[in-house]
A and B are shown apart, each in its own frame.
Chain A
Amino acid sequence: MHIPDGYISPATALAYWGGILPFWYIASQRLRRLLVGRTVPALALFSAFVFVVMMFNVPVPGGTTAHAVGSVLAAIVLGPWAAIVATSVALIVQALFFGDGGILAIGANCFILGVAMPLAGYGIYRLLAGSSPLESRRRVIAAAAAGYFGINVAALLVGLTLGVQPLLWSENGRALYSPYGLEVAVPAMLIPHLTVAGLAEGIVTAAGLTLVHRFYPEVLGSVPSQGPTAARQRSLILLITAVLVLLTPLGLVASGAAWGEWSAEELEQLVGYVPSGLARWEGWWRAPLPDYSLPWMPESASFSEQALAYVLSAIIGIGLVSALIFGLRLLLQPRSPEDRSAASAR
């Protein structure tokens, strides 16, 4: 599940950094006031827990092993912003010290496992749990579904990220990064997660929540079971939309890039087929392409010019994503006077 360095292009890695930084910024702003309280040790211990959970190899029928992540559980128990920090920290420690996941790819890994996964899972949890009482069975089932859904969203994102690499960055048909297209990468990621790892994650999430209910109900007191859920749900839906929109830099970065400008026919010559996903992507991203690539980019552009356009388009992609998230933050900002007081009482 962790993407190592070298499997994704620098543009993809930078785009993911652009995606994760606003989330880290908002999370650190939101958690700053909690630096005094019990949240800091709770965060650290949760982070360590997530780290260790990822080391457990669950025996899987068929001889191999899979591992759970635990970030959805963190989102349900600590809240989504704290989950972003706790999971990110676990991933950073893994990348820095144990070579599990790349360093340039920290942005991608933290975004997929630390933001997309807990937010998607948390959204499902809130949706399914509704306003049911804290100790109800419905919440446990909601947690299991959330874990299952969250890890599969993450697996899909990893599959998409790896799968678009050979389509966007190839030279004479030679893949420069991960060599498998979408038609291999996505099923390769999704099948084990839809079957086994998803179940493991669901069990970890549900069991974890049950334990917290039974032994530490005061920890969960901060998760509002009733109240103004409409606004919260709206903001959650916005966030999930943002996650989906965030996939776009992959396409945007490539659209202006020197090596990614193939039409479907050219691609068919290069790779031998036109993936159905690409056909859609291409139509989707045609529009912004001529705007900034045509004026300065004649067919005979030199290599350094092409490289410049490549870097520029990466920066534009990151800028757009960041602007989007900051805009989102402005939307989210006014929502939470009572939410904050609830959070700081934690």
Chain B
Amino acid sequence: MARRSFLEKTLADLATTLEHTVYTEEIARRSGLLQRLDARVKVVLLGFALLVAASLQTALMQLALLVLLLILFAASRIPASIVVRLGLGLPVFTLLVAVPALFVVPGPPLLHLPFGLTISTTGAWSVLTLLLRVTTSVLAAAALMLTTRWSDLLAALRTLRIPLVFVVVLAMAYRYVFVLLELVQDLLLARRSRTLSAIPGPEQRRWLTTALAVLFQRSLRTSELVYQAMTARGFRGEPRTLRPRALTEADWFALSVGSAACAALWLIDLAHP
């Protein structure tokens, strides 16, 4: 088969996105450690963990945080395949981006390669630090998103005093992202099914512009229809949200233990010059 065209690439991207979301909701419904916690607790803890992940200077503490996160993943019954996929996505991209730093950053030589290239110790440490940092950050973020249902997360954001207009737009945008994704997928599929040979670049770009235009037009029209539907159902700018439930003892316990663990990692790291 020839090189994948941008049509197929975009199509595959869209399919992955949709599939990913459906799968995420499925994991969020399983019974596990993180799934049992309140979304607000998870948002706060995740924020803290991300800050700590970004602040840790020593590779040892970064590894400790990574192990901690992996334990959380296991306790929340998140399949190992997801961990592998997460660990291979952004971190591998980071590695690709950062690899030249091995040679570019000056420092004491670690390894001599052919063509006069030298890997410096400083460069290797830079790349390793960045890689560990990106991996822990990705896992921390994924721990929240995989185990929290979208509606719970929105309610949590609302109780954390995020302005109403943001939460409402966020809720609606999230829903319509999938409507638009499906529309694009249909457009691409229709195009693909009528294609026999490779499409030249200019033709691809021309088609792409049309597709974007259709998408845009459709967005505008849908927004008008949605508005009419909302008015017809009596919307007056006061969307009703479910009352958030009170935090249970397990939530408070998790909040204190989680914060303590993060703080401990951070302090040990600070004391370790």
Contact A46 B219 (CB under 8 A): yes
Contact A56 B10 (CB under 8 A): yes
A28: B residues at CB distance < 8 A: 163-166
Which of A41, A56, A271 touches B226 (beta carbons < 8 Å)? A41
Q: Is B213 engaged at the interface, CB distance under 8 Å to the other chain?
A: yes
Q: How far is the CA of A237 from the CA of B36 in the complex (A)?
A: 50
B235: A residues at CB distance < 8 A: 36
Q: How far is the CA of A274 from the CA of B253 in the complex (A)?
A: 51
Contact B54 A10 (CB under 8 A): yes
**Min CB gap A168→B, angstroms:** 14
Known: A93-B170, A171-B57, A175-B126. A48 touches B180 (CB 8 A): yes
Q: How far is the CA of A212 from the CA of B136 in the complex (A)?
A: 44
B21: A residues at CB distance < 8 A: 97
By DSSP majority rule, is chain B's interface helix, strand, loop, or mixed?
helix
Contact A57 B10 (CB under 8 A): yes
Contact B50 A57 (CB under 8 A): no
**Min CB gap B209→A, angstroms:** 6
Known: A44-B172, A55-B13. A102 touches B129 (CB 8 A): no
Q: Is A45 engaged at the interface, CB distance under 8 Å to the other chain?
A: yes
Contact A102 B212 (CB under 8 A): no
A172: B residues at CB distance < 8 A: 122
Which of B142, B175, B220, B271 touches A212 (beta carbons < 8 Å)? B220
Give the number of chain B interface residues (Cβ < 8 Å). 89
Compute the total of residue contacts between A and B using a CB distance below 8 Å. 249
**Min CB gap B120→A, angstroms:** 9
Give the number of chain A interface residues (Cβ < 8 Å). 79
A-contact bits for B102-115, CB 8 A (1 contact / 0 none): 00111100000000
On B, residues with C-beta under 8 Å from A are 5-6, 9-10, 13-14, 17, 20-21, 24, 46-47, 50-51, 53-55, 57, 86, 89-90, 94, 98, 101, 104-107, 122-123, 125-127, 129-130, 133-138, 140-142, 145, 153, 163-166, 168-177, 179-181, 184, 201, 204-205, 208-209, 211-213, 215-217, 219-220, 222-224, 226-227, 230, 235-237, 270-271, 273
On A, residues with C-beta under 8 Å from B are 4-10, 13, 24-25, 27-28, 31-32, 35-38, 40-49, 51-53, 55-59, 61, 65, 85-86, 88-90, 92-93, 95-99, 102-104, 166, 171-180, 184, 203-204, 207-208, 211-212, 215-216, 219, 271-272, 303-304, 307
